Amino acid sequence: MPHRPVVAWCLAAFTLGVAPTSGAAERAIDQQAVVSATLDQAWDAWTTREGLISFFAPDAKVEPRVGGAFQIYFDPLAAPGSKGADDMRFLALQPKKMLSFDWNAPPSLPEARAQRTFVIVRFEPVSPRQTRVSIHHTGWGDGSEWDKAYAYFDKAWAGVLANLQKRFDHGAQDWSEWLARLKAMHEADAAKVAAPK
């Protein structure tokens, strides 16, 4: 027969509508930043191509509707499927409050990249000229490759939020140096392929 405290806990949980849990809480990345932007400006930064290229990546395809494209091209010179977040979609939009999208891992982590995680971005006015932007990234799998993806995005989202703050404090990101390095890298790769063996 079970011990009385266990039975009492189960009865209390049942009465309160709480199911007993056997595992740990879902792993998630939670980060936030206050940006010097109105709520409208912060929302537009995440829901327009112009907004996204001002802080996130050098190119993007954005269709702000459920099921619409949320494609972020970190390497717009790469072949389709290797540009970055090539096939991502908006999952939900609550204007000027919340948006969510699916997300993938970098190409260097193919097992994790073949799956999707989920990102929720929330917007909260702090003052007429300041907005808190919060990121919640979840849906992680298990194993060493997923651990690497988690560590990668824990740093990457901090960088994205820092770039967002910088965008509103000092102006839009200039991607010309980044694109020049990418072009040189692609040209070097093409020369290696073309070189006789």
- Provide the token pair at 119: 């990102």
The 3-state secondary structure of 75-130, one letter per residue? CCCCCCCCCEECCCEEEEEECCCEEEEEECCCCCCHHHHCCCEEEEEEEEEEECCE
Phi/psi of residue 148, nearest 5 degrees: -65, -40
Per-residue pLDDT reduced to its tens digit, 20-78: 445 567 899 999 999 999 999 999 999 999 999 999 999 999 999 999 999 999 999 99
CB 117 within 8 A of CB 138: yes
Per-residue pLDDT reduced to its tens digit, 78-135: 999 889 999 999 999 999 999 999 999 998 999 999 999 999 999 999 999 999 999 9
Kindly report the pTM of this predicted structure.
0.84
- Provide the token pair at 92: 């939900």
For residue 103, the cross-strand partners are 117
Could you tell me where the beta strands, DSSP code E, fall in the chain?
28-35, 59-62, 70-73, 84-85, 90-94, 98-103, 117-127, 130-138
